């Protein structure tokens, strides 16, 4: 059990039999009455974010999440397969659990898979990935002074806005948190 006074962003708790992750929280001490904690929590299974208020000092169950290094191997339909780096066992994770992170997955990429009671609940991908541009419009010489960008499709199928000088076959670095182009490699 953990006190709501000990909340921190990213903490995973169990409320009414469901797993939630703390997205935001605020300790409130009104001039009159008891203190309380106003929070935004995300249901790990559905991805919905709800607001919930707890009395100050209230105890709730903390969910112990295990993180394992795994390697992305392949996908078949809506299931994505990962190999445990220690036991070499295959684990399939549903596309819904991956969310928007699936657009950055490349064969052989190492990720941290979050497990609760040996069941996968999500993945944590690296903050930066290096991908090759597979499709983009050609740029025009001398059109770089404006800082203009154009859409480009990378090897994983994701679309990123890149500077005009980036061509097909160029390896680029992307920030997976924002989906922005960082630099050409």
Do residue 15 and residue 41 come from a single domain?
Answer: yes
Do residue 104 and residue 134 come from a single domain?
Answer: no
Considering 102, 124, 146, which residue would you say is the last residue of a domain? 124
pLDDT the model gives residue 44: 83
pLDDT the model gives residue 143: 57
| Closest listed residue to residue 168, CA positions, set 136, 145, 142, 146 | 136
Total count of domains within the chain: 3
Starting at the edge strand found earlier in the chain, the sheet holding 59-62 runs 2-3, 59-62, 12-15, 18-28, 36-43, 49-55
Residue 167: φ, ψ to 5°? -120, 170
pLDDT at 159 over 90: yes
Cα 47 from chain centroid (whole Å): 11
Whether 174 contacts 123, CB under 8 Å: no
Considering 44, 62, 80, which residue would you say is the last residue of a domain? 62
Following DSSP, what letter does each residue of 81-131 receive, concatenated? Answer: EEEETTT--EEEEEHHHHGGGGGG--TT-EEEEEEETTEEEEEE--SEEEE
Number of neighbours of residue 33 by Cβ within 10 angstroms: 8
Per-residue pLDDT tens digits for 59-117: 999 988 888 999 999 988 889 999 998 999 999 988 877 878 889 999 999 999 988 88
Report the residue count for the chain: 185
pTM (two decimals)? 0.72
pLDDT at 157 over 70: yes
CA gap 129, 101 in Å, rounded = 11
For the record, the structure tokens of 47 come out as 């991805």
Per-residue pLDDT tens digits for 116-155: 888 888 888 999 999 999 999 887 665 555 678 889 999 9
Do residue 83 and residue 117 come from a single domain?
Answer: yes
Find the domain containing 15 and state its range.
2-62
CATH of the domain at 143: 2.40.50.140
pLDDT at 58 over 70: yes
pLDDT the model gives residue 175: 93
Per-residue pLDDT tens digits for 7-49: 888 888 999 888 998 889 999 988 888 899 999 998 887 778 8
Do residue 117 and residue 166 come from a single domain?
Answer: no
pLDDT the model gives residue 61: 92
């Amino acid at each position: 059990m953990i006190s709501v006074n000990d909340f921190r962003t990213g903490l995973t708790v169990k409320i009414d039999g469901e797993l939630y992750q703390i997205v935001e929280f605020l300790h409130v001490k009104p001039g009159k009455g008891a203190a309380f904690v106003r929070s935004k929590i995300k249901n790990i299974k559905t991805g919905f974010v709800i607001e919930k208020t707890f009395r100050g000092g209230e105890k709730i169950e903390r969910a112990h999440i295990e993180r394992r290094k795994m390697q992305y191997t392949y996908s078949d339909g809506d299931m994505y397969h990962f190999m445990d780096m220690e036991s070499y066992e295959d684990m399939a994770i549903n596309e819904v659990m991956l969310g928007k992170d699936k657009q950055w997955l490349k064969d052989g990429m190492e990720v941290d898979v979050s497990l609760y009671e040996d069941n996968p609940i999500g993945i944590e991908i690296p903050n930066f990935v290096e991908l090759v541009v597979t499709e983009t419009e050609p740029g025009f010489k001398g059109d770089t002074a404006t800082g203009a960008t154009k859409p480009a499709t990378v090897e994983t199928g994701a679309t990123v806005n890149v500077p005009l000088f980036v061509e097909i076959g160029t390896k680029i670095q992307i920030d997976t948190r924002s989906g922005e182009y960082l630099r050409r490699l």
